[in-house]
Amino acid sequence: MTSFDHAINEYQRYLWQNGYRKNSIKHYLKAIRQTLKNTDLENITQRTLDDISIELRKRYQPNGNRNRHAAINLFCKVILKRNDLHLKIPRSKARNRDVLTNKEIDQILEAATEESRTVFGVIQTIYDCALRISEVCHLNLEDIDFQSMEISLKDTKTGDNIVTMTSRVAEAINDYLVYERRPADKGEKALFLSERGLRIGEHFVRNHLKRCAVEAGIHKRVYAHMLRASCITHLFNEGINPNSIQKHARHRDFAQTMTYNRPTQQQMKADIERVFAKKPDLNDEDRIRVVIDKYVRGEITDPELQALLEMIKPKQLKHRGEFSGYA
């Protein structure tokens, strides 16, 4: 066994012993194999890590590199016993959430009905329940409660959770169980099975979702997490209480939930009109007070606050140099 093989096994053992999730362990080990496999671990230097960081920056986005850097730092600390080696974790980069329209969701679901009951049930469940791809793959029969209309999620990114199951998800799952689920083993616990009767994997979801998107005539890239993002955004657009959305999305941080709040232009115009329609004779100071009060009560979001304040901000005198006749 090589020095690296021994080190990676010890690292895996450490991660299991310290309660890291299965998915996290997989990604941490992948990061170490990807970056340090051909490195002389006994003579590794800070410059070696800095060079690795530069290469990662060239190939991947900052948000993905955060976990890679964290995996390397932990490996150096607990396996190599080198506290002097450390990579600065890249700052998280804010990005727009890619979402589908309600029409596009309907088109994908319609295409899924032509694929199979399994594919339709998987896509419907991911969207309505705002599931991550790993969560839908790990669902077991015992996790579905048709009495309470709830789905139990175990060992997820945010721990164990319970999500509401919509009536159409319940109907899709029941239809699949009755007419299509054929386990290879009678003792199979997995809910969604492939044609071979085995638990579906992430590749199954990605491939069939991509195929459904193509069949639906959607030309942009469609991936599983887009269904989750679309669900959360659509709930915001329907005016659902943000706290309820946070619970449905299972975010620890409320600010994380709010990043999915992307009102349409029509909604922005309607909200702005609604704020001012009731008191048309207010002066600018009163208008600002009304807007701030609505923001404090949670009736408008940060982007809406900024947009409204921009609209009612008194027009500033132009800079002296902008007037003709002045140098």
**CA 245/CA 259 separation, integer angstroms:** 12
- pTM for the predicted model, two decimal places: 0.63
What's the confidence (pLDDT) of residue 326?
38
**CA 279/CA 324 separation, integer angstroms:** 38
Q: What is the DSSP string of 212-258?
A: HHHHTT--S---HHHHHHHHHHHHHHTT--HHHHHHHHT-SSHHHHH
What's the confidence (pLDDT) of residue 93?
64
pLDDT tens-digit readout, 229-261: 999 999 988 888 889 999 998 998 888 888 788
Higher-confidence residue: 248 or 274? Answer: 248
Q: What percent of the chain has pLDDT over 90?
A: 61
Spatial CB neighbours of 217, under 8 Å, sequence gap ≥ 6: 107
Region of poorest pLDDT, from 156-160, 206-210, 222-226: 156-160
232 close to 245: Cβ distance less than 8 angstroms: yes
pLDDT tens-digit readout, 2-17: 589 999 999 999 999 9
Q: Which of 207, 252, 261, 200 is nearest to 229 (CA)?
A: 261
pLDDT tens-digit readout, 180-222: 999 999 899 999 999 999 999 999 999 999 999 999 999 999 9
pLDDT tens-digit readout, 99-143: 899 999 999 999 999 999 999 999 999 999 999 999 999 999 999
Average pLDDT over residues 282-307: 78
| Strand arrangement, sheet containing 159-164 | 144-145, 150-156, 159-164
Assess whether pLDDT exceeds 90 at residue 144: yes
Class of residue 92 by CB neighbours under 10 A (exposed 0-12, middle 13-18, buried 19+):
exposed
54-to-35, 89, 126 alpha-carbon distances in Å: 11, 12, 36
Q: Which of 144, 94, 49 is nearest to 152 (CA)?
A: 144
Q: Which of 182, 131, 120 is nearest to 154 (CA)?
A: 131
Spatial CB neighbours of 254, under 8 Å, sequence gap ≥ 6: 242, 243, 246
Which range in 166-180, 224-238, 288-302, 304-318 is most confidently predicted, on average pLDDT?
A: 166-180
Query: What's the chain's average pLDDT?
Result: 87
Both ends of the chain: CA-CA distance in Å? 78
